[in-house]
Amino acid sequence: MLENRNTENAPLDGEDWQIAFAPYVEHPRLALALAQHLTALQDYIQTDAIVAATGAINRAVEELYEHSDFRSVSLELFRATVQGRLPVDVEHVINALGIRT
């Protein structure tokens, strides 16, 4: 079976976080706000408030969608890619359209 890098959900390492948060270098207040939101999500998860945490994460993914190349295609394809559910053949078509997955 072909390996699909989108189906692997390894924990993010330090380099992943550095890349993800690079835009915050010039925005310390936004970095603080995001850290506060992540801490709130952590608190939800630790207190068994999974529904609230899931809702917050879903809202965050929808906002990130607006900043992605997928906004010209579909939210469902974006979610499938993020969740590792995108079939390889569909991934190839999306890549051929110039959308990086």
User: Which pLDDT value is given to residue 11?
Assistant: 66
* Stated pTM of the model: 0.48
| Alpha-carbon span 68 to 75, nearest angstrom | 10
Give the start-to-end residue ranges of the domains of the chain: 27-67, 69-101
Instruction: Name the residue with tokens 């993010």.
Output: 12
Blockwise average pLDDT, block size 10, the chain, 101 residues: 52 79 86 84 79 83 81 78 84 82 62
pLDDT for the residue numbered 58 = 85
Q: What is the 3-state secondary structure (H, E, C) of the chain?
A: CCCCHHHCCCCCCHHHHHHHCHHHHHCHHHHHHHHHHHHHHHHHHHCCCHHHHHHHHHHHHHHHHCCCHHHHCCHHHHHHHHCCCCCHHHHHHHHHCCCCC
**How many C-beta atoms surround the C-beta of residue 96 within 10 A?**
8
